[in-house]
Amino acid sequence: MKKRWLCAFIALFFLVCSVPLTTMCLAGPAPAAANEIAAPKPKLIRRGTLNTAFLSELSAYASRGFRPRLWCITAWDAVCARLFGASENDDVVLGRDGWLFYFTAADDRAGAGLLPEAEIWRCARNVYLMQEYAESQGARFLFVMPNAKYDLYPQYTRAYVRVAEGRNVDALQARLAEMGVAYCDMYALFSAQDEVLYWHTDSHWNGRGAALAADGILTSLGREGGWFDGEFTAAPEHRGDLYEMDFPAYELKSVPVTQAMADAMNGAMPKAAYMGRDLLCVFDDEETVRHMTVDQEKVRALDGLLLHATAPGKDVDCVSRSFAPKCNVAEDPVCGSGHCHIVPYWVKALGKDSLVAYQASPRGGTLYCTQMGERIKMSGKAAVYSVADINIG
């Protein structure tokens, strides 16, 4: 009986292990997602010699090309969040009621990495010397000690987050006071307020929190503030850690739907078409847009600089694709200028000023868009492409 169970276990093990190879052989490797670069297919012989890195390249190709990989990552992230109350991202701690915290702040709250007294003294001494130099130049000096969400809202943290008796920030504050350094204690300022002054999902103060911090700094410098007690107009949305860009909106004019448009999109006939700088084709079904293939030469023959295909989305407001063979780009992964056409259409069609738009290219990307008159603000995640200095002579 034990032998049968062992054989069954071994068979099941090899069956599961064969899934990635089988899916890659039948369906090919998965396309790159987000800002990833697809791993190239490894070659045993390279430039006429044996490729000594073949096994490592094969491992990268198999792990990145495994088609259910993104689904597995998403599923595991959901398991960590719902069953264990933890995030798959090592830098993020999942709190209660949708609150997010950061491990860098959690370490200090838990007393991890406490500095020796001598290091605390050196830190305080350096700040004191900064103050001494600033005052020698006739300037005022103020050292601001920002507070952390952990300290202000422990009720939203998980039970496993330990609270230590001593912290680096407490020891540093005591030393600064001994040395006569002018500092602003944000914790004392914020903890005296009953309202929530942080955004739930990132490390920033909300508008009220920023106003309170500004008043605290100004008061410490002997100046008038009054921002916190002033009138506030709530912002329509909070972009948090997203990057935001401001674009002009294109004016769209309705144009007749033609057979040439359908031919360029391999038979997909749009229900409506509009022209701005680019040609915008509208469909009823997002699956048509997601699985669309185009004839690049026929797209090149259409009017407009780019071709955009868009449809209403199930989980987002709209789903789109952008093709630009006239610019020598087969498909734009996430097209900013394209959404200067797409957003005005859906703003009018859906009767709302703010949209969540998804670009369904092989790489894909989500944009958070708001139309403000003749301008469109687009926000989203971004990866650093290049860092450079421009010298103007």
Q: Of 355, 291, 363, 333, which Cα lies nearest the Cα of 33?
A: 363
Q: Which two tokens stand for residue 263?
A: 């031919």
C-alpha dist (Å) from residue 91 to 86, 88, 104, 106, 387? 11, 9, 7, 10, 24
The whole-number pLDDT of residue 90 equals 62
Cα atoms in the Cβ-side hemisphere of radius 13 Å centred on 357: 36
- Ranges of residues in the chain with a pLDDT under 70 are 1, 19-21, 23-28, 30-39, 66-67, 69-71, 73-74, 77, 81-91, 103-112, 158-165, 232-241, 383-385, 393
Model confidence over 141-182: pLDDT tens digits?
A: 999 987 778 778 888 876 555 666 677 888 899 999 999 999
The whole-number pLDDT of residue 18 equals 73
348 contacts 250 by C-beta, under 8 angstroms: no
Cα atoms in the Cβ-side hemisphere of radius 13 Å centred on 319: 20
The whole-number pLDDT of residue 34 equals 47
pTM, two decimal places:
0.50
Encoded amino acid at 101, one letter: F
The whole-number pLDDT of residue 291 equals 93
